[in-house]
A and B are shown apart, each in its own frame.
Chain A
Amino acid sequence: MLVPDWQWGYDGWIIVITSLVALTCAIPGSFLLVRRQSMLGDAVSHAVLPGIAIAFLVSGTRDGGWMLVGAIVAGLATAMLTQVLRGVGGVDRGAALGVVFTTLFALGLVLIVQVADSVDLDPSCVLYGQVELAPLDVVVLGGMEVPRAIPWLLGVFAFTFVGVQVIWKELLVASFDPATAAAQGARPILMQQVLMVLVAAGCVVAFEAVGSILVVSLLVAPAAAARLVTDRLRPMMLVAMSIGVLAAVGGHLSALTVPGWLALETQDVSTSGATAVFATGLVALAVLASPQQGLLFGAFRRLSLRLRIAEEDLLGVLYRREVESRGLGQPAGVHLSELGGGGPGLTFRGIMRFASIRLRWAGFATQAQLIPHPDQIRLTEAGRSRATALIRRHRLWELYLAGAAAIPLDHLHATAMDLEHLANPDLLESLEAESARTARDPQGREIPGQ
């Protein structure tokens, strides 16, 4: 078996639990990201600790309902205390947040250590979680044994998902343009608090299961990765949820397998830690592969542009050779070795060779069976018409540059060589209109084409 010691009744539940946490966190996480408040999620996930501890002190139980209330109150308190520090004290937003959440977190730790002697609630569990133990703590639900965390996680996920759908517009406008939202009566401050409640609720149910570090990761990382591959909020949220689940599955699987591959002594790798690392890996992947900002796509776009330019340059060379040789009865082909001079050595020649292969493959050029050079290439009919359009563009640009931009004749060719590769239809139309009915370029050569 690929994964050692896999048990559906145990590992399956771990993945379900972590996935539910990821789904729940991705929703408010996406809003926090586009509001540029991701660190507020970090802060709230720590600051709910005293709320949980106080709820525990008051109720004396680890009942989820009490903890939920405690966490939500603490989450709202974080947002409000930060606001007060900013408003009254004039403290910078980031600094205010930093002071408030570390203080609350410290307070929470003190409280938890106080009560830890009498109960099974300890600080390391809060930080790292005990997802490995979660499947063992079961309740009977509809005749079936399920981990105790599951009904709570399902409830909070459903609440978050439905709630965000219901107040979608108001959250959206309050996040994008709070002033206009307020002028329209859309209550942006209330929306901010709703968001804090969602974050706090997600945190508290996730806490016991996966710990606060993974909560922070699942609030921020999936949303950040999703933003890189989408530019609409609704799809972004769905993508973030999928990425979160992917991280949960990948995280647990790698926690099971990676120590074996690396032949580590210990088999004790935390699923929480592995999931957080996996989520970060997915962000890195998005950075590389994002269609708009991604490094890979950028490199691919630059390379394909360079190839197109090489192809078009080669077409131009073939066309000019054909025109030159028309009167001389010479063979109208070009040998690749003739193209060596124009660029930086090997790369340039490689690209030119590749361009000539692509031209032949696409039917724009063909092998010229000419003596004395058997491997020359020349234009086909399709290639000739593409080359004609290209030369027309080149000479129209020269005409325009010489006229409107008053560029000296000996500078025309180089600039036009760059401009002829622009293929924006609007631009070309304007160019055609600019030089209507002119048949010759500034050097008196014919402008081919229509």
Chain B
Amino acid sequence: MPVHHRHRNPPIGPEHDPQAALSIHDVTVAYHRRPVLWDLDLDIPRGVLAAVVGPNGAGKSTMIKACLDLVPRVSGSIRLLGGEIGGVQGRIGYVPQRETVDWDFPVSALDVVCMGLYRKIGWFRPVRRRHRSLAMEALDRVGMADFAGRQISRLSGGQQQRVFLARALVQDAELYFMDEPFASVDAATEEAILDVLRSLRDAGRTVVVVHHDLQTTRDYFDWLVLLNTRLVAAGGIEETWTPENLRATYGGRLTLLEAAGWAMGTAGSGQRRS
């Protein structure tokens, strides 16, 4: 991917909190002149499980891609773990949306997980037995060890999502970006993913998750970024999870079902899942 405007960034300016896991300053991203993200300013502290929530087309995935330098930004600067993306790539994990890859690709689940180690292995070096055993451990953590040798098209959607998660785990990153990991997965997978996310957070890692299910947001996450092209609110879940903020995020687009989901998630918080 091309490097955009890197030379214009000062080493680290006063606008960035060096302690933050993710610090976004004044970022605007546009596709064909239409702004997708506008003047985004936010910090996410280390060691939190952060949800990025907003309606369709709010720029949630774009925000993650901008952080990873996968889309060019018009303006602004981003610091990950106190540095620029180019210098910290090895400490960042990424789980893209499941639909972005071709699952007919002729590789096994284990092969995919090993891809998480490629950077650590280095250019021109082969994958060795010890790398495969690391990948097996990661598959085991997501309950997929039995499927290691299976070609990936013969896994269910939830299993595929878990393979992606294992690939991120094996990177042993400090900061993770995950794009809709809970999208259309079965209940067992949702539980398995949530367990892994919580254990990552408990180990002091930071996880930024694009999330679509308002009903579970409050239970799953402890940090919230509400996005609708512009930033609506960002902060601890208790402070930001308010009807005013949600209304401002979704505007008139919060459907009755989403509103009901939000109400249920708020009412049942703490009891539905321990």
Binding site for B on A (CB under 8 A): 34, 36, 90, 166-170, 172-173, 175-177, 179-180, 182-189, 227, 230-233, 236
Instruction: Assess the B1–A233 pair: CB atoms within 8 A.
Output: no
Instruction: Assess the B106–A179 pair: CB atoms within 8 A.
Output: no
Measured CB to CB, the nearest residue on chain B to A185 is: B89
User: Given contacts A167-B124, A183-B68, could you give 16 more A-B pairs where the C-beta distance is less than 8 Å?
Assistant: A34-B106, A36-B102, A169-B118, A169-B126, A169-B127, A172-B107, A173-B118, A179-B94, A179-B100, A180-B167, A183-B92, A183-B94, A184-B94, A184-B118, A232-B106, A233-B106
Instruction: Assess the A173–B106 pair: CB atoms within 8 A.
Output: no
User: At the interface, yes or no: B235 with Cβ under 8 Å from chain A?
Assistant: no
Interface centre among A34, A172, A230 (most CB of B within 10 A): A172
> How far in angstroms is the closest Cβ of chain B from A236?
6
Interface centre among A36, A169, A227, A231 (most CB of B within 10 A): A169
> How far in angstroms is the closest Cβ of chain A from B212?
19
Measured CB to CB, the nearest residue on chain A to B105 is: A176
Instruction: Assess the A167–B115 pair: CB atoms within 8 A.
Output: no
CB within 8 Å of A: which B163-195 residues = 167
> How far in angstroms is the closest Cβ of chain B from A163?
11
CB within 8 Å of A: which B76-124 residues = 86, 89, 92, 94, 96, 100-102, 105-108, 111-112, 115, 118-119, 121, 123-124
User: At the interface, yes or no: B151 with Cβ under 8 Å from chain A?
Assistant: yes
> How far in angstroms is the closest Cβ of chain B from A228?
11
Interface centre among A167, A168, A173 (most CB of B within 10 A): A173
User: At the interface, yes or no: B70 with Cβ under 8 Å from chain A?
Assistant: yes
Instruction: Assess the A185–B119 pair: CB atoms within 8 A.
Output: yes
Interface SS of chain A: helix
Instruction: Assess the B102–A172 pair: CB atoms within 8 A.
Output: no
> How far in angstroms is the closest Cβ of chain A from B156?
15
> How far in angstroms is the closest Cβ of chain A from B221?
22
Compute the total of residue contacts between A and B using a CB distance below 8 Å: 78
Cα separation A176 to B167 with both chains bound (whole Å) = 13
Give 10 closest A-B pairs by Cβ, nearest first.
A182-B1, A231-B151, A183-B94, A183-B68, A185-B89, A184-B119, A173-B115, A177-B101, A231-B106, A233-B106
Instruction: Assess the B105–A179 pair: CB atoms within 8 A.
Output: no
Give chain B residues whose Cβ lies under 8 Å from the Cβ of A186: 118-119
Instruction: Assess the A179–B96 pair: CB atoms within 8 A.
Output: yes
Give chain B residues whose Cβ lies under 8 Å from the Cβ of A179: 65, 70, 94, 96, 100
Cα separation A233 to B118 with both chains bound (whole Å) = 17
Cα separation A417 to B190 with both chains bound (whole Å) = 36
Instruction: Assess the A169–B121 pair: CB atoms within 8 A.
Output: yes
Q: How many interface residues does B have (CB within 8 Å)? A: 32
Give chain B residues whose Cβ lies under 8 Å from the Cβ of A177: 96, 100-101, 115
Would you give the 0/1 interface string for B46-78, flagging 1 where the beta carbon is closer than 8 Å to chain A?
000000000000000000010011100000000
Of B70, B107, B127, which contacts A176 at CB under 8 A? B107
Give chain A residues whose Cβ lies under 8 Å from the Cβ of B151: 231-232
Give chain A residues whose Cβ lies under 8 Å from the Cβ of B68: 182-183
Give chain B residues whose Cβ lies under 8 Å from the Cβ of A90: 32
> How far in angstroms is the closest Cβ of chain B from A141?
31
Interface centre among B1, B32, B111, B167 (most CB of A within 10 A): B1
Do A170 and B118 form a contact, CB below 8 Å, given A175-B105, A185-B89? yes
Measured CB to CB, the nearest residue on chain A to B1 is: A182
Interface centre among B92, B106, B108, B119 (most CB of A within 10 A): B106
Cα separation A34 to B124 with both chains bound (whole Å) = 21
Q: Can you list 24 contacts pairing A with B, beta carbon distance less than 8 Å?
A: A34-B102, A168-B126, A169-B115, A169-B118, A169-B126, A176-B101, A176-B105, A176-B115, A179-B96, A180-B96, A180-B167, A182-B69, A183-B68, A183-B92, A183-B94, A184-B118, A185-B89, A187-B1, A188-B1, A189-B2, A227-B106, A232-B106, A232-B108, A232-B111
Of B69, B115, B167, which contacts A172 at CB under 8 A? B115
Instruction: Assess the B124–A184 pair: CB atoms within 8 A.
Output: no
Cα separation A236 to B105 with both chains bound (whole Å) = 11
Cα separation A180 to B163 with both chains bound (whole Å) = 14
Measured CB to CB, the nearest residue on chain B to A173 is: B115
Would you give the 0/1 interface string for B210-234, flagging 1 where the beta carbon is closer than 8 Å to chain A?
0000000000000000000000000
Instruction: Assess the A180–B124 pair: CB atoms within 8 A.
Output: no
Give chain B residues whose Cβ lies under 8 Å from the Cβ of A169: 115, 118, 121, 125-127
> How far in angstroms is the closest Cβ of chain A from B145?
16
Do A189 and B107 form a contact, CB below 8 Å, given A168-B126, A232-B151? no
Cα separation A175 to B115 with both chains bound (whole Å) = 12
> How far in angstroms is the closest Cβ of chain A from B262?
31
Interface centre among B101, B102, B115, B127 (most CB of A within 10 A): B115
Instruction: Assess the B107–A232 pair: CB atoms within 8 A.
Output: yes
> How far in angstroms is the closest Cβ of chain B from A328?
51
Instruction: Assess the B106–A167 pair: CB atoms within 8 A.
Output: no
Instruction: Assess the B89–A184 pair: CB atoms within 8 A.
Output: yes
Instruction: Assess the A34–B123 pair: CB atoms within 8 A.
Output: no
Give chain A residues whose Cβ lies under 8 Å from the Cβ of B123: 167, 170
> How far in angstroms is the closest Cβ of chain A from B214?
26
> How far in angstroms is the closest Cβ of chain B from A347?
33
Give chain B residues whose Cβ lies under 8 Å from the Cβ of A167: 123-124
